[in-house]
Amino acid sequence: MERRKGFTLENLKSFWPYISKYRKQMAIGIAALIITDSMTLVVPWLIKEFIDVLPGKPSSELLLKYVFLLLGVSLFLVAGRYGWRVYMFGASRKIEFDILNRLFEHLLILDRTWYLKQKTGDIMSRATNDLRAVREFFGLGVLILIDAVF
């Protein structure tokens, strides 16, 4: 009985042409994710600072300063989250689209006898479900990996 190998980086070799095409977009998305994740640590710190000044009866200007700082950080987080989603998930959708086009081009050159031997449902399943899994790996999978590390 042959033992099945687990996931290795060797499995990703066939995807490299697609990944390298969008590496800049993925890098921007990953950078935005790391910066956004780092900035989320500022929110609890700002709230702590705000609570710490309350017993000293702070001026309304100081309280407004904390409110606007918190609002500014929150707006930055919104923009950052939007940015990494657009870049990372956008790249994963483009990778899926390119692979789907390559698959379709390949299916067009196959002869009729090949199609007689294949089940249409199997072909459709590969074109939809398997490519959806690839998209999720390059979008959500990379997101989870980066979030786990940082």
Domain range for 72 is: 22-149
135 belongs to a structural domain = yes
What is the count of structural domains for the chain?
1
16 belongs to a structural domain = no
14 belongs to a structural domain = no
> Counting Cβ atoms within 10 Å, is residue 84 exposed (0-12), middle (13-18) or buried (19+)?
buried
pLDDT in 10s for each residue of the chain, 150 residues: 455 666 677 777 888 888 899 999 999 999 999 999 999 999 999 999 999 998 888 888 998 999 999 999 999 999 999 999 999 999 999 999 999 999 999 999 989 898 888 888 888 888 888 889 889 999 999 999 998 887
8 belongs to a structural domain = no
13 belongs to a structural domain = no
53 belongs to a structural domain = yes
Q: Which two tokens stand for residue 74?
A: 């929150």
7 belongs to a structural domain = no
3-state secondary structure of 100: helix
Whichever domain contains 50, its CATH number is: 1.20.1560.10
- In angstroms, the CA 142 to CA 133 distance is 13
Q: What is the pTM of this model?
A: 0.77
91 belongs to a structural domain = yes
